[in-house]
Chain A
């Protein structure tokens, strides 16, 4: 059954994160069944470990913000009348920060709160990489990571980084094999996304809050919803549609300390807000910030309905044919080839539209498609895939976050921190440039040095199965040391691809 061993090797690398020792043999009996069996209504498996859920993280974040607010107040008091700042409420003569022990304590508390959150996020990333290195459900994992990247939030911004672990666990993974519109709604209403794309700051100019404060719209989330998360830049919307959606989204926010304080602070309550309507997973809708009135987006008018107005628009965008077309192509390009076979894209699109955006059906179509099973590897692995698949080949898992973080930083893919809302690219031109290959070689040598006990010939055979080329097999066999053999194997054309 040579062909099913090949299919197993294809399944484990192209659809998964690489083969662990013995895995190709186990999967060879039914490679398609291996993938199909991971398409479960409850979504993709979760990383293990004890992490704060979104509600707890919201509380921690509010706590951090209150420390940060006190520090800002101290700074204003210490340095009045810089021409930069608006009229300062505290014109008291400034004392240097350091001379005030309470101010120092407050600053340290802020730093500690920030550090705790950052370290938690780093541990979440390590747990995710450990799941990747050890899971039997490599396809479900890759599928979830695809959606996390398609609906990017980034820890490049502290506020969204504070929630990025929760985002993947609570918004993405549970919905990865559900309906796309439910996935999108969960993602766009999660604090990570609301903070990453500035939505929590956006105020309807004619809302109750907007009329009182000099505040207004921020159209960042609305634009990326259309451009990147649903219909795409050529999906047929205009600037006016972006602005209209931004108006509809005003009020989409997260809980704040003042929501709890309100009963005791009537004056502040009057000024700031009616209580926020709490929603699931750290979402809060602020009716007093919401721009009143009907909205027209892409030719359809949505009556005033508070939170439901933006949700209705978003569902329509998620169901739009341009969304199915765009994301089907992106899926095919991610899993199969930089320039994907049109027949594959068409299959995915048909599954998408035929099922009303049921991602389980789209996933099944990908597994069913003959284009998915061509044995020749086409895609260059991303740095994350490369590192995780190396661990899988060796039967190990990353133990500490710092070396993992440094390696990914060097290769251009720092943990949880894509450079823009577009997310990580995944073409050969993006990841196999001259400097990137030097960094991969560096990392391969380190990984090979640490894995001296492994038998390189066995590692190569079990990681690639029948996809191991003769040239690479010979190079590994003839190497003058184990580290050299493993370095050559990790850098080989077929291991660099999937």
Chain B
């Protein structure tokens, strides 16, 4: 009854504001079971995979890393044991628990299809889902929504700006804390009249107000403290539950460009990442069993520590896959080793897997997209890259 009630109130509020439904077509497209959910977390600035999924058993790891090396499991401040010679950064205790429950997997050496060491260009490729720079003007997550029927899945980005990965033809919403509009109904209605010939402003404002409506019905806008990442995770989870909840969400976490003083920076960032995932799990409740979370970054960092206790822009990095929908399994993709003659350009972890293969595996097995759509529309021209794993759910 509660669910129905909220839904009805929402419809009434939206209707009286003259802004229509936030996600037009959703009701018509309503099908039997609730949709599976996907969260893509982009760690911006190039996350150091060698500190996240620590290859402690690789004999070259400690010599290359020096003071930046994470100790092996069992040692002081050591990595948390995964399997096959890998451990998780000690800050990632929540993710490690998930791994123990068979709800977390990792790909230790992924990369984009092109070799780029510019953050911004690489993020562009990561998000546009093409084979290279500027090949697509919209994002693969948005195209996945289109491929799944356009309006049957609801997309949401977290943050003041919509990242490229969710830009495109499918309407999506966005949300960041702090937006409650006082007495918004009348002004929203007047503004819709003003935006009659301006669909971009009209649709975007309507979607933004509808998302605020969801937040306010669920206890209102308790302003999140800036560093409360767990609270953010829970807030995102709220926006993913209920009949109007989002199915596909993009979250950006900044601050992974660790040229100097990497150890302390990563400790902070990874603690935040862990809290985000934990907050999502707690907030999603039963829906967690239908959820997959991907943590991806634009590229890895140099295998060797640089002269300032940091690392510079590299190539291969790791990807994390977590969620109640994830099945127990080993590392995704091969480990190239850190042997001198295996390093890419004698400096970086060599990738063994195109990161799109992991995305394709998740979209096929978890979101139900077919291979043809993935090869041609979501990741154009990617037929050569097969989904990286079978049956994540």
Contact = CB atoms under 8 A, between A and B. Distances in A.
A433 interface: yes
Contacts of B310: 198, 218
A434 B338 CA distance: 45
A130 B99 CA distance: 53
B211 A435 contact: yes
Contacts of A201: 260, 307-308
A234 B307 CA distance: 27
A393 to B, nearest CB: 17
Contacts of B176: 410, 412, 435, 439
B280 to A, nearest CB: 19
Contacts of A439: 160, 176, 178-179
Interface stretch (B102-110, B186-194, B268-276): B186-194
Contacts of B345: 239
A227 B198 CA distance: 36
A436 B157 CA distance: 11
Contacts of B204: 432-434, 436-437
B146 interface: no
Interface string A462-491: 000000000110010001000010011001
B194 A434 contact: no
A471 B196 contact: yes
A441 B45 CA distance: 31
B145 to A, nearest CB: 15
B187 A487 contact: yes
Given A233-B116, A439-B160, A488 B191 contact: yes
A185 interface: no
B368 interface: no
B265 to A, nearest CB: 11
Interface string B164-207: 10010000111110111110101110110111111011001111
Chain A, interface residues (CB within 8 Å), range: 35 or more
Interface in B276-316: 306-308, 310, 312-313
A475 B194 contact: yes
Interface residues of B, number: 64
Interface in A401-429: 410-413, 419-420, 422, 425, 428-429
A433 B139 CA distance: 15
B370 interface: no
A239 B302 CA distance: 12
A471 B197 CA distance: 10
A205 B304 CA distance: 14
Contacts, number: 173
A493 B179 contact: no
Most buried by B among A210, A410, A422, A436: A436
Contact of A430 (B45, B116, B161, B254): B161
Given A218-B308, A220-B259, A411-B160, A432 B200 contact: yes
A234 B184 CA distance: 47
B308 A471 contact: no
Given A218-B260, A223-B313, A445-B187, A205 B307 contact: yes
B178 A410 contact: yes
Nearest to A440: B205
Given A410-B178, A445-B187, A218 B259 contact: yes
Contact of B308 (A216, A242, A425, A491): A216
Contacts of A239: 117, 345, 347
A160 interface: no
Contacts of A215: 307-308
Contacts of A475: 190, 193-194
A493 B160 contact: no
B198 A493 contact: yes
Nearest to B209: A438
A77 to B, nearest CB: 19
A252 to B, nearest CB: 14
A434 B239 CA distance: 14
B211 A434 contact: yes
A199 B207 CA distance: 44
Contacts of B44: 419-420
B136 interface: no
Interface string B349-365: 00000000000000000
A437 B192 CA distance: 13
Contacts of B25: none
Given A410-B160, A475-B190, A83 B67 contact: no
B4 interface: no
Contacts of B159: 412, 435
Given A233-B118, A428-B200, A434 B308 contact: no
Contacts of A431: 161
B182 to A, nearest CB: 7
B155 to A, nearest CB: 11
A482 to B, nearest CB: 13
A312 B173 CA distance: 49
Interface in A266-311: none
Interface in B73-129: 76-77, 116-121
B181 A442 contact: yes
A228 B117 CA distance: 12
Contact of B173 (A219, A422, A434, A491): A434
Nearest to B194: A475
A496 interface: yes
A220 B77 contact: no
Contact of B120 (A202, A422, A472, A488): A422
B167 A216 contact: no
Interface string A113-136: 000000000000000000000000
B260 to A, nearest CB: 5
B331 interface: no
Contacts of A433: 157, 160-162, 174, 204, 208
Interface in A198-253: 198, 201-203, 205, 210, 215-220, 223, 227-228, 233-234, 239, 242
A435 B166 CA distance: 14
B212 interface: yes
B76 A488 contact: no
A429 B167 contact: yes
Contact of A438 (B67, B164, B179): B179
Contact of A434 (B77, B119, B208, B347): B208
6 contacts: A218-B310, A233-B121, A242-B117, A419-B254, A438-B209, A475-B193
Given A411-B160, A434-B174, A435-B175, 16 more contacts: A84-B263, A203-B307, A216-B308, A217-B307, A219-B312, A420-B257, A428-B200, A432-B201, A433-B160, A434-B162, A438-B211, A439-B160, A441-B181, A491-B191, A493-B195, A493-B198
Interface of A: 83-84, 86, 197-198, 201-203, 205, 210, 215-220, 223, 227-228, 233-234, 239, 242, 410-413, 419-420, 422, 425, 428-439, 441-442, 445, 471-472, 475, 479, 484, 487-488, 491-493, 496
5 tightest A-B CB contacts, nearest first: A216-B307, A412-B160, A434-B208, A438-B208, A83-B76
